Amino acid sequence: MRLHSFLVCLQALLFAKVAYAAFGLTESGNSLIADTNAGLVFTVDKTNGDVTSMKFNGIEVQDQGGKKSHIGSGLGAQCSWVRTGNANNYIKITCNAGTLTQYYVARYNDPAIHMATYISAEPDIGELRFIARLRRAAVPNGYTASNIEGGTAIEGSDVYTVNGQTRSKFYSSRQFIDDQIHGVTGSGVGVWMIIPDTGYESSSGGPFMRDINNQGGTQQELYYYMVCTINDQRTPTSLFSTRTPVTPKQNFSKPNGSARTLVRPLATVSKYPTKHLSSALFFTSGSQPSTDINTVFWDGLGITGFVSQTGRGRVIGTASGVPSSYSNLQVIGFSNSAAQYWTRAASNGRFTSPYMKPGTYTMTLYKAELAVASQSVSVSAGGTLTSNIASKEDTQSAIWQIGEFDGTPRGFLNADKIETMHPSDSRMRSWGPVTFTVGNSIDSFPLAAFKAIGAVTIKFNLSSSQIGARTLEIGTTLAFAGGRPQVKVNNWSGPNPAAPSQPNSRGITRGTWRGNNILYTVNIPSGTLVAGSNTLVINVLSGSSGDNFLSPNFVFDALRLY
């Protein structure tokens, strides 16, 4: 009995030593093979920085075709490695490609490839993104809206129809503020991209930016988008933008600074600041893991550009003045020329920022996606600053209003579908031309007006006390091909507004309404409106043309007459 117990203990000790010994890196030709001792073994080609194999519990997840997993379209980097960190429990693979350095880190007993990217100048690889090109047979379950396999292209080479439904990689996107994790699964394996709360701190866009997460074709592609070149025009967005006045009168309290408009806007973050961005490609047997990953370990790994938590500060405070119906839709953003952060406030307005790099930031309060206040804050290393913020939105007592001024078309016709479908999708309700009667449900009012489809007509009644000189406001969130509203009220034609400053992108056909929030103000002269029935016609003004949904267009935020 004693001999049996001794043998059992000896076996356990030997197994423990063998298990720990499995953690490490083996070189084989040009391959750097890292074993995490957690079921994940991955291989990096040291001559170019590609990940050429990812095996989890013996299942090969990396596609073995010509294209492997890598930054951009491949780095052509030279890679080296070292075992380092606390108790030598980390393997750091460093791949240098001039102004870009990509790190892959294996951590003992952790089934993940931890990644960090540092750039000191705009790289020549185009979009700064990590693409995991996975074996479709191993992880067939991605986002249905982005599964293009067997489809026919209907717009460019990125929007398809599959079995009568429109599909696109763009329809897998989520706003960055809600995109801490996305993944694909299969039998006995799941691959998840986890992005920490500082993962987008030097990225393109902002809290409401959306970008590709997945495309299911012959490969199952899983993405982490960081920065795109200034010439990339795929997904429009605007960070920290305010209402941009397009007429002398603007009934909105605009925070300091003007709206920022770039192609593929980078908000207040400069085009390619020196930066460090991190993420983790996490492997499970299928279930979604927690997004609460501890990134403090990076501090001990000698990563260029990394700023430790002790070298950062935070901002706490209370947001106020936003209507109670938006108590759970308050976003507080921070931005300067080098970094950006955001957080959601609790229903009572209390908020705590992520750990931020030291510096002076523009702090912006959003009512959903509409900036309603802005102020400056200075963050110091190790410090916690208290800074309360209150809405400065100038609300109006309206005769009538259609929708809510919140920087989104939510509630309008097809708004519930546009993020995951092309406007031509058979599941969409008819876009019109629409005639809308004030007082009807707003789900029959179109979220967008298209030049090729026709004008949007609004019918409304006024009493004798409501006529005279009045003001019409039309809020928009995005426009394509210079589309902007030109109105006719009864027999009076309003002015032709100037072309809006918006990203040069297809926009709405790629599943987004996010551009620069613009408020058009139309002063209606006395004698135009009448007691009784009135007609407002909103045309799309533009010098360009196009077919249906690629004709000039704009997206509605809300409208009101006062």
CB distance 163 to 135 below 8 Å: no
Is 311-390 a domain of CATH 2.60.40.1120? yes
* Selection from 46, 182, 35 nearest residue 112 by Cα: 35
Residue with tokens 């390619």: 272
CATH of domain 2-230+269-300: 2.70.98.10
Per-residue pLDDT of the chain (562 residues; tens, 9 = 90+): 444 444 434 444 333 333 345 999 999 999 999 999 999 999 999 999 999 999 999 999 999 999 999 998 888 899 999 999 989 999 999 999 988 999 999 999 999 999 999 988 877 776 789 999 999 999 999 999 999 999 999 999 999 999 999 999 999 999 999 999 999 999 999 999 999 988 899 887 789 999 999 999 999 999 999 875 333 333 333 333 334 333 322 222 222 222 222 222 223 233 444 466 789 999 999 999 999 988 889 999 999 989 999 999 999 999 999 999 999 999 999 999 889 999 999 999 999 999 999 999 999 999 999 999 999 999 999 999 999 999 999 888 999 999 999 999 999 999 999 999 999 999 999 999 999 999 999 999 999 999 999 999 999 999 999 999 999 999 999 999 999 999 999 999 999 999 999 988 888 999 999 999 999 999 999 999 999 999 999 999 999 999 999 999 999 999 999 9
What is the residue extent of each domain of the chain? Answer: 2-230+269-300, 311-390, 400-561
Instruction: Match domain 400-561 to its CATH number in 2.60.40.10, 2.60.120.260, 3.30.930.10, 3.40.50.2300.
Output: 2.60.120.260
Tokens at 91, concatenated = 């393997």
Residue 349, Ramachandran bin (φ over 0: left; ψ between -120 and 50: alpha; else beta):
left
* Selection from 114, 96, 89 nearest residue 104 by Cα: 114
Residues 6+ apart with CB under 8 A from 386: 315, 316, 317
